[in-house]
Amino acid sequence: MPDAVKNAVYVSNSDGGITEFSIFSADGDEKVYESEQVTEFPEWGPFQKSYRLNFSDWKEPGQYYIQVGEVKSPVFQIGNDVYAHMADYILQYMRQQQCGYNPFYKDSCHVKDGFIIYNPDKKIDSTHIDVIGGWHDATDYLQYVTTSANATYQMLFAYQQNPSVYGDHYQANGDPGSNGIPDILDQAKWGLDWLDKMNPSEGQMYNQIADDRDHIGFKLPDKDTADYGRGKGGERPVYFCTGKPQGSTAHQNNATGIASTAGKYASAFALGSKLLKKYYPEFSERIFKKASEAYDFGKKNPGVCQTACYVSPYFYEEGNWVDDMELAAAQLYLLTKNEIYLKDAIGYGKQEPVTPWMGADTARHYQWYPFINLGHYYLAYGTGDKEASSLFDHYYQQGIQRVFNKGKNNPFFIGIPFIWCSNNLVVAMATQSNLYRKATGDEQYQEMEQSLIDWLFGCNPWGTSMIIGIPGNGDFPTQTHSGAVVLLNRQPLGGLVDGPIYRSIFEQHIGSGLSGEDPYRAFQSSVAVYHDDTGDYSTNEPTMDGTASLSYLLSALESEGKKENRD
């Protein structure tokens, strides 16, 4: 956008340095700007030399390219409308991931779900429970409360913060057609309906449908042949929350309690009850009651409730839970003004001042999840409590500062650890930086914020956007690890792919590899690898929760552009 911090990154494997650059109009090749605002960086990744070219003071809307010597950049646009319609665009992927009725495939799937496992009541265990609905987690068809409740909350939060950017072009089930409800709330309601089923009564919580017995190759959801002992394509297991380790004998998770799941239920139900009251008053009242019940259940059962695996050792290794309970308590306080919730939220928040991945070099898979603590945001800027505001503003800034310090000495200003699903961390830090800047007016992290956004849209070593279909005339993933691509040659538009990882992680992943030649071979390094290849589930698989986490960021950018156009 015209008033954004603007940087290009120039990389080279030659010894020659550069000291200046020029900007040309794409229409007519006229030089319109030249500058010596060039910062050199030492060897990084596969590049001997790297430079940041700052052109923030060029604000004229139009189509341009940058030239350094004989090297020309791709054409790019400056304008307040560059992010227009993106917030709605990514909802295409959420609709494609729907379980039960799926508008992408125009068919229904997994309509037999499911049968209960791990319930201590033997009269109930192994019996049927109706939990049809929700979203598939990724290219596989597993379903987790961990990711689904967070995705639901992220979409609700985005709508709460930036309602004006969302349109109404789809019905509640995802088919085309207006229904008088913003499309993002339709998707949030889809998630809440499923969470309602997965929490059928007070103290009865389920955390997962299916497990990695699903991983038997690419298949379409309506033709799922996975067998969980009930025949191919039969009922799938529904995991009861016990607060204890679950999984096969060979691969047990490390669950210690239920609060991480209960807190996610509570926060999604609480915010959902507020935002959906206008459209679904009875449903809103029911899930508000469930929000307080879920929160109380979490208080009684502290600890993490991890996802379970059966065949391989891969599960979401969530290691924190106080952030989930903090957000739930903060959200309930904002709805009820009950001071007990505020006191609880502050207490939980003090136990984890900074989400631990921030500033770290590595972490286990989904160890610190969600990757952003929105409870901190509310306590810092939303409750009106001055003491809490001062403390949690400090916590919020501290997390940003840690990532800032790690990224400031490389050409892409990227301080994110390249662990599995690194793009989700990029989105989280860009979101936290944006929220902080807007709440405080402090712009010292704005360059990093924009660089993280730029990374997602192609200013990275591979020169590719990480969001399928955006920008429409640009370079984005096309060979994603997706059944839709492999079996139907259809793109899962709007999906955010996992993103680059350390080479050491890629080489250790079971079953991840390349199906053909790597066009990005010259840009790979030990720092990070990324492959636009259907065989690489570790860097090129779109995920439901990662995509949903883009909701606030894209809606904020689109809203900012609309405001600038009005001004």
Q: What is the pLDDT of residue 239?
A: 98
Q: What is the pLDDT of residue 222?
A: 94
Q: What is the pTM of this model?
A: 0.97
The residue among 55, 78, 101 that closes a domain is 78
Number of domains comprising the chain: 2
Give the DSSP letter of residue 465. Answer: -
**Domain presence at residue 484:** no
**Domain presence at residue 290:** yes
Same domain, 379 and 269: yes
The residue among 28, 46, 78 that closes a domain is 78
Same domain, 42 and 178: no
Q: How confident is the model at residue 564 (pLDDT cuts 50, 70, 90)?
A: confident
Per-residue pLDDT at 403 exceeds 80? yes
- Torsion angles phi and psi, residue 37, rounded to 5: -80, 75
Same domain, 422 and 290: yes
Strand-pairing partners, residue 115, are 128, 237
Candidates 385, 371, 377, 451; CA nearest to 414 is 451
> Residue 61's domain is classified under what CATH number?
2.60.40.10
Per-residue pLDDT at 15 exceeds 80? no
**Domain presence at residue 535:** no
Cα(503)–Cα(505) distance, integer angstroms: 5
**Domain presence at residue 32:** yes
Q: How confident is the model at residue 510 (pLDDT cuts 50, 70, 90)?
A: confident
Task: Express as a percent the part of the chain with pLDDT over 90.
Answer: 95
Q: How confident is the model at residue 555 (pLDDT cuts 50, 70, 90)?
A: very high
Q: What is the mean pLDDT of residues 531-536?
A: 96
Q: What is the pLDDT of residue 248?
A: 87
Per-residue pLDDT at 16 exceeds 90? no
Cα(272)–Cα(160) distance, integer angstroms: 10
Q: Are 330 and 379 in contact (CB under 8 A)?
A: yes
Q: What is the mean pLDDT of residues 343-369?
A: 97
Cα(213)–Cα(229) distance, integer angstroms: 10
Higher pLDDT, 447 or 562: 447
Per-residue pLDDT at 566 exceeds 80? no
Element (H, E) at 330: helix 322-336
Give the DSSP letter of residue 388. Answer: H
Same domain, 117 and 58: no
Q: What is the pLDDT of residue 443?
A: 97
Range of the domain at 216: 86-463+542-566
Q: How confident is the model at residue 379 (pLDDT cuts 50, 70, 90)?
A: very high
Same domain, 331 and 432: yes
Same domain, 65 and 101: no
The residue among 62, 78, 94 that closes a domain is 78
Q: Are 350 and 401 in contact (CB under 8 A)?
A: no
Per-residue pLDDT at 273 exceeds 80? yes
Q: What is the pLDDT of residue 494?
A: 98
Q: What is the mean pLDDT of residues 541-552?
A: 98
Q: What is the pLDDT of residue 249?
A: 82
Candidates 418, 425, 365, 450; CA nearest to 530 is 418
The DSSP-derived string for 478-531 is: -S-S-HHHHHH----TTPEE---B-HHHHHHSTT---SS--TTGGG--SS-B--
Same domain, 393 and 416: yes
For the stretch 450-462, pLDDT in tens is: 999 999 999 999 9
Q: How confident is the model at residue 565 (pLDDT cuts 50, 70, 90)?
A: confident
> Residue 191's domain is classified under what CATH number?
1.50.10.10
Same domain, 110 and 68: no
Cα(468)–Cα(490) distance, integer angstroms: 11
Q: What is the pLDDT of residue 245?
A: 96
Same domain, 557 and 438: yes
Amino acid at 288: F
Residue 175, token pair as written in the block = 């088919």
**Domain presence at residue 523:** no
Same domain, 451 and 556: yes
Same domain, 57 and 14: yes
- Which residue pairs from 526-529 have beta carbons closer than 8 angstroms and sit at least 24 positions apart in sequence? 526/502, 527/44, 527/45, 527/46, 527/418, 527/502, 527/503, 528/45, 528/418, 528/422, 528/461, 528/500, 528/501, 528/502, 528/503, 529/500, 529/501, 529/502, 529/503
Average predicted confidence (pLDDT) for the chain: 96
Cα(118)–Cα(8) distance, integer angstroms: 53
**Domain presence at residue 313:** yes
Q: How confident is the model at residue 567 (pLDDT cuts 50, 70, 90)?
A: confident
Q: How confident is the model at residue 546 (pLDDT cuts 50, 70, 90)?
A: very high
Q: What is the pLDDT of residue 90?
A: 98
**Domain presence at residue 70:** yes
Q: What is the pLDDT of residue 511?
A: 83
Same domain, 68 and 132: no
Cα(421)–Cα(402) distance, integer angstroms: 19
Q: How confident is the model at residue 473 (pLDDT cuts 50, 70, 90)?
A: confident
**Domain presence at residue 507:** no
Q: How confident is the model at residue 513 (pLDDT cuts 50, 70, 90)?
A: confident
Q: What is the pLDDT of residue 205?
A: 98
Per-residue pLDDT at 509 exceeds 90? no
For the stretch 119-174, pLDDT in tens is: 999 999 999 999 999 999 999 999 999 999 999 999 999 999 999 999 999 999 99
